[in-house]
Structure 1
Amino acid sequence: MQCRSGCGACCTAPSISSPIPGMPQGKPAGVRCIQLGDDARCLIFGHPARPVVCSGLQPSAEMCADSTPAAMAFLTRLEDLTRPSA
């Protein structure tokens, strides 16, 4: 499966705890990654500086759903379910 054009939910919804070029502390959930281009494509795709967690995330019908809002909802729920308890 390929990413849906113009989506970018996987680069916005989840938190990333590892450094990203331009975001040395990673990024919190719900914040658009600085490396997400205007066309909603990763600007560092295939680059060694791309976080391992990003390259490990593969598109799937369940995750990508049929719209960006649905993908955001799925990924936000996954983020909530995997957040460590305080």
Structure 2
Amino acid sequence: MKCRAGCGACCIAPSISSPIPGMPQGKPAGVRCVQLTAENYCAIFGQSGRPAVCSAFSADPDVCGASDEEAIRLLGWLEQSTAIAV
């Protein structure tokens, strides 16, 4: 599957523990990445400062569903299901 242009769910729903330019502590789940543009594109796509976890993400129907809204729900559910309780 190819990413849906302007979706951005993978830059909002999951937590990212790696440093991101502008977010040195990473980002919590459900928080919009500061590098996500108003049009929901990654402002640092292809740049060396982009976290490896972001570069490694591949769109897939199992996690992206059939719409941007479904992607937010699925990725959010995966985040919650795999979170380590503290």
Normalised-by-shorter TM-score class: over 0.9
Question: 2 CA distance for matches of 1:63 and 1:83?
Answer: 16
- Residue 6 of structure 1 and its aligned partner are, at CA, apart by 2.0
Q: In structure 2, what residue type is equivalent to 1:20?
A: I
1:14-59 Cα distance to aligned partner (Å, 9 max, x none): 0011100001111000000001112211111111110011111110
Which residue of structure 1 aligns with residue 17 of structure 2?
17
Which residue of structure 2 aligns with residue 54 of structure 1?
54
Query: After the TM superposition, which of the residue ranges 12-21 and 53-62 deviates more from structure 2?
Result: 53-62
Question: 1 CA distance for matches of 2:40 and 2:23?
Answer: 17
Identity of aligned residues (%): 56
Question: 2 CA distance for matches of 1:57 and 1:6?
Answer: 16
Question: 2 CA distance for matches of 1:10 and 1:20?
Answer: 14
Q: In structure 1, what residue type is equivalent to 2:15?
A: S
Q: In structure 1, what residue type is equivalent to 2:75?
A: L
Which residue of structure 1 aligns with residue 27 of structure 2?
27
Residue ranges of structure 2 left out of the alignment (5+ in a row): none
TM-score normalised according to structure 1 size: 0.93
TM-score normalised according to structure 2 size: 0.93
Aligned length: 86
- Ranges of 4+ aligned residues in structure 1 off by more than 2 Å: none
Question: 2 CA distance for matches of 1:33 and 1:10?
Answer: 9
Q: In structure 2, what residue type is equivalent to 1:80?
A: Q
Residue ranges of structure 1 left out of the alignment (5+ in a row): none
